[in-house]
Chains A and B, each alone.
Chain A
Amino acid sequence: MPDAPRHVSTATNADIEAAGTTASVNAKEPEGFSVVGKALPRIDSYAKVTGAAMYADDIALPRMLFGRLLRSTHAHARITRIDCRAVLGLPGVVAVATGEELPMRYGILPSSPDEMVFAVDKVRYVGEPIAAVVAVDELTAEQALKLIEVDYEPLAPVMTIEDALREDLPKLHVESRKPNNVHKEVHLAFGDMEAGFAAADRIFEDEFFYEGNNHAAMEQHAAVAEYGGDGKFTIWTSSQTPHYLHRIAAAVLGIPASNLRVIAPMIGGGFGGKTEPFQHELAAAHFARKTGRPVKFALTREEVFYAHRGRHPMKMKIRTGVKNDGTITASHVQTWLDGGAYGSYGVATTYYSGALTPVTYKIPAYAFDGCRVYTNKPPCGPKRGHGTTQPRFGFECQLDKIADALGLDAAEYRTRIAVDPYSRTVNYLRITSCGLRECIDAAVQRTDYRKKHGKLPRGRGIGLAASTYLCGAGLPIYWNPMPHSGAMVKVDRGGGVTVYCGVSECGQGSQHMLAVIVAETLGVDVMDVRVCAGDTDLTPVDLGSYSSRVTFMAGNAAHDAAEAVRRDMAEAAAQMLGIAPEQCGFANRRVFDVAKPDHYTTFLEVAQAAEARFGTLVGVGSYTPPENLHGDFKGSGVGPSPAYSFSACIAEVEVDLETGEVHVEKITLAHDCGRALNPDSVEGQIEGSAYMGLGEALMEESSFRGGLHKMPNLLDYKTPTILDTPEIEAIIIETDDKEGPFGAKEAGEGPLNPVIPAIANALADAIGARVYSTPITAEKVLKALEGADSGALRLRHGSPARAEAIQ
């Protein structure tokens, strides 16, 4: 039954590269590098500590107008009338707009263009934009919204996954050809599932639920747009993906993309929440054209919670067959994703909820059924770990149960079944460098896990989990043969170096990363490098700060660009030093003879000589992932990556057996980032992941009552404060990936994934019972204590909540 018709791919495993890898722990100062591997202050940190850094809402232009969006007060309703006539009578109001003015449907994925700037005919979630007003100030715009009359004819709301699979509720998207409110189904199987389960000594089956949550980046989204007399637009916006906004905004506004410039200024955190076009950005541009004046839209925190695109609530059923020694013979993962009202990145999320499970452990047969549904809630999208965080929680909890049932040491068990470096998974994903075992070993050693696990007094526990993540999606959102990232490096005759690259700095350190790579290549100080980033007019395209792609892809592009300049400079230096160009070394603002480092000339002199000889000194580079990353089947485009990062986390908890409160005492998190270009930045990403994972595990939830967010503010939506955050130990594991820039992989998302199951496993160790759903609240812990492992969650069987039943 569960292995109903699915696509079975037949690609071969022949092209596995045979190569070893060595990992080193905390290799802080690798030899031979002068910039790479040094914990230098980030180049962007000076502007950030002085208040000089400009974020979107800091931009103020002369004659600027302020906009506010009118948002739906119904979860599901037909709009029978919108009357804006009274609005323009209010002094200070300049313009108003509704859906007919921007009729194009768009979506970040070409497969689900289902959103509009302003809803027409129908609203599908509370908070969906219906109209907007711009006025001389925000207060006036806000007042004007109250003068817009909207008549609704309520429709039955679809609020849960079960609702969405019912036949008797209205469809959110009547044009969808899928049954009921199903948005996307994925059914894939690899290897011989039947034989795999037949060969198993034991089969484990568990159900989990992962609650949705919000990114809650500290900066609320804001956008400023300007329309010039030359018919050209500029949008400044807190976007992790200026390139995709460029593309989609041009289409929605009905203008050539060449007439639009999108600039991502500093971004106050993203975590995936600013990766697709938002209504306020498109509205700002529309009103700029309509009024001929600059327009700003800045969202309130409450609006951010309704704009959402946060982590999908996900139900999961995981069935795994193992030998008595724990060897996995087959695994079947089923997921149901509560997508909210629109597509967003949901098709990709659905694939991701199955694609990366086989990347950590050897699984010879693997099947995956995913089903994403529409509900009348704000759309879900990508959040740090995109779609892989939820199944990782389930899978790692189940592995601990398996280890427990078979009497295995959970750490040794994981290292034994861990994937090998330079191998291929059963779903044809190419693994290159892999420090998974080293991560587990390092975390185990640092915490004395073996002495503690299963041996601590009741109420105290320690838990382990491991994970993996992409270093950028192997395929772009819009399939095309062009590079994923481009960079340009310019050396000026004053010895200054500028990198131009489309990356968006959302806090992860992308600008510093570019500076490190270019400084290392050209032998200058990192502070000699200026970065011009995130500007679709000035910088070559980078697809954006999503799927942890920037270090690997933009880093490689910048490296190539710097190499190109270096070649010209080496030619010039060679002549000056009387040596061959290959003999030239670049370091400490000098170009020298590698055989005789005292024989040198300065970088400045070489720059001038090279410019005299070759003209303007510019190098360009670009990065396109290799082609052999994936199998050949529908859906094979989601999951492949040029490299994978690996992590292992150990959490130590204390549980109050009276109240059920879980107190995390320490999180130890080891992460294989390939190479730490700046160890401080990598640690920062690991620490931030530990913190964010803690929040998801214990407190954060985007839950709704009657379509209303239960906690759309930062007081009720609990995030860990400095007092809630435990000691965090970050361990950097380096594996020197052959294809990464200077061996680097990602660090921004991967380390988050193991944190949640590590805490869940620590809880199980502490109380001998499990909580199968997040967030792990005191209430659930008390229930688990009462029922001792009866399971805090039951999927409703018999309902059509099974992928097979709805094919």
Chain B
Amino acid sequence: MREKSPYDLRASARGIYGFFEMMTAPPKILAKFRLNGDEIECAFHPNKTLLEVLREDLGLTGTKHGCEMGHCGACTVLVAGEPVLSCLTLALECEGSEIETVEGLARGGNLHPLQHAFTTCGAAQCGYCTPGFLLSAAALLQVNDQPSNAEIKEALAGNLCRCTGYTKIIEAVALAAERMHESSDA
């Protein structure tokens, strides 16, 4: 007989799949988004998260994952300008919305000021958390182009980084804000 152990790993969350018993994927649906400025159409299984659709169905692997449970912020993208955790968002929910990922930050081969500042300040070490931080910071700078350090920290509090100690990330966001503010004045 198959033993039910009190230590059954499957009792705890194991990605999203652990919650379902013998689930099979529902048939694909076709949905439209505005993705990084382009109108796109994509067919995917409706149980898929935005993270999975971006990475697996659209090939945009710039968006990362560190937990797929909403804990780390690595999967942050912008939906209608707001930062969302793409691992907790069904792609279906975003139908018709404007989605922005790290791939859409640079314009015409020019880095976004945040991207530029991240390179200048050494704010990307392993770089795995970087796309998430960039998008969270981009959302902040859209509404506040002169953030204080406290405001920067508040906006990035949902993004984990294991490499940098955050110091250079804060510097980079402050630098980008300064540059964006200057150029908007000019």
Contact = CB atoms under 8 A, between A and B. Distances in A.
Say if A and B assemble together.
yes
Interface stretch (A45-53, A103-111, A462-470): A45-53
Given A45-B127, A75-B7, A713-B13, A51 B119 contact: no
Contacts of A680: 121-122, 168
Contacts of B60: 51
B101 interface: yes
B53 interface: no
A596 to B, nearest CB: 36
Contact of B129 (A53, A218, A306, A689): A218
A714 B71 contact: yes
Given A712-B12, A714-B67, A269 B7 contact: no
Contacts of B131: 51
A362 interface: no
A684 B163 CA distance: 8
Given A42-B124, A151-B3, A680-B121, A52 B69 contact: no
Interface in B117-169: 118-122, 124-131, 134, 153-154, 156-169
A746 to B, nearest CB: 15
Nearest to A54: B61
* Most chain A CB inside 10 Å of its own CB: which residue of B23, B129, B162: B162
A267 B121 contact: no
Contacts of A143: 17, 22-24
B7 A684 contact: no
A722 B153 contact: yes
Contact of A691 (B8, B21, B55, B165): B165
B29 interface: no
* Most chain B CB inside 10 Å of its own CB: which residue of A50, A75, A146, A215: A50
B163 A507 contact: yes
A539 interface: no
B66 A49 contact: no
Give the size range of A's interface with the partner: 35 or more
Given A267-B126, A300-B68, A45 B167 contact: no
Nearest to A681: B122
B163 A51 contact: no
A71 interface: yes
A152 B111 contact: no
B9 interface: yes
Nearest to A716: B71
Given A75-B7, A152-B5, A302-B12, A715 B62 contact: no
Contacts of A436: none
Contacts of B167: 683, 687, 725, 728, 730
A268 B127 contact: yes
B2 A150 contact: yes
A775 interface: no
A137 B25 contact: yes
B115 A507 contact: no
Given A302-B13, A712-B12, A269 B6 contact: no
Contacts of A219: 64, 66, 126, 128
Given A55-B128, A218-B128, A151 B2 contact: yes
Contacts of A570: none
Interface stretch (B91-99, B102-110, B178-186): B102-110
Given A151-B1, A708-B7, A52 B127 contact: no
A269 B103 contact: no
A690 B166 CA distance: 11
A139 B23 contact: yes
A270 B24 CA distance: 35
Given A126-B9, A301-B68, A688-B163, A721 B25 contact: no
A436 to B, nearest CB: 23
A719 to B, nearest CB: 6
Nearest to B101: A51
Contacts of B22: 143, 146
Contact of B120 (A41, A58, A300, A707): A41
B163 A269 contact: yes
A466 to B, nearest CB: 20
B169 A722 contact: yes
Contacts of A688: 125, 162-165
Contacts of A47: 127
A149 B1 CA distance: 9
B27 interface: no
B121 to A, nearest CB: 7
Interface string B62-83: 1111111101101000000000
Contact of A507 (B69, B105, B126): B126
Contacts of A127: 9
A215 B131 CA distance: 21
B15 interface: yes
* Most chain B CB inside 10 Å of its own CB: which residue of A51, A507, A723: A51
B5 A73 contact: yes
B140 to A, nearest CB: 12
B126 A217 contact: yes
Given A150-B2, A722-B170, A725-B165, A218 B69 contact: no
* Most chain B CB inside 10 Å of its own CB: which residue of A126, A150, A714: A714
A50 B124 contact: no
Contacts of A719: 160, 162
Contact of B134 (A41, A42, A49, A268): A49
Interface in A33-71: 39, 41-42, 44-55, 57-58, 60, 71
A49 B115 contact: yes
A91 to B, nearest CB: 9
Given A73-B8, A302-B13, A49 B127 contact: yes
Nearest to B74: A218
Contacts of A268: 64, 66, 126-129
A41 to B, nearest CB: 4
A708 B66 CA distance: 21
Contacts of B17: 138-139, 142-143
Nearest to A141: B17
Contact of A300 (B14, B160, B161): B14
A203 B39 CA distance: 75
A706 interface: yes
B33 to A, nearest CB: 17
B91 to A, nearest CB: 15
A690 B69 CA distance: 27
B111 A49 contact: yes
A785 to B, nearest CB: 29
A656 to B, nearest CB: 21
A348 interface: no
B37 interface: no
A53 B127 contact: yes
A714 B119 contact: no
Nearest to A505: B126
* Most chain A CB inside 10 Å of its own CB: which residue of B156, B158, B160, B169: B160
B62 A51 contact: yes
Interface in B21-47: 21-25
Given A42-B119, A681-B122, A728-B167, A48 B13 contact: no
A217 B102 CA distance: 21
A728 B165 contact: yes
Nearest to B104: A51
A423 interface: no
B126 to A, nearest CB: 3
Contacts of A683: 122, 167-168
21 contacts: A41-B119, A42-B122, A42-B124, A45-B119, A49-B115, A73-B3, A139-B24, A217-B162, A218-B160, A268-B64, A268-B66, A269-B125, A301-B66, A301-B67, A302-B9, A509-B125, A687-B164, A690-B165, A713-B13, A721-B158, A722-B170
Given A220-B66, A300-B68, A722-B169, 18 more contacts: A41-B122, A42-B119, A42-B124, A50-B111, A51-B103, A60-B56, A73-B7, A73-B10, A139-B25, A149-B2, A215-B162, A218-B128, A268-B66, A301-B66, A683-B168, A687-B165, A713-B13, A714-B67
Nearest first, the 10 closest Cβ-Cβ pairs linking A and B are A51-B62, A507-B126, A48-B127, A268-B128, A691-B165, A687-B165, A58-B61, A51-B102, A680-B122, A714-B71
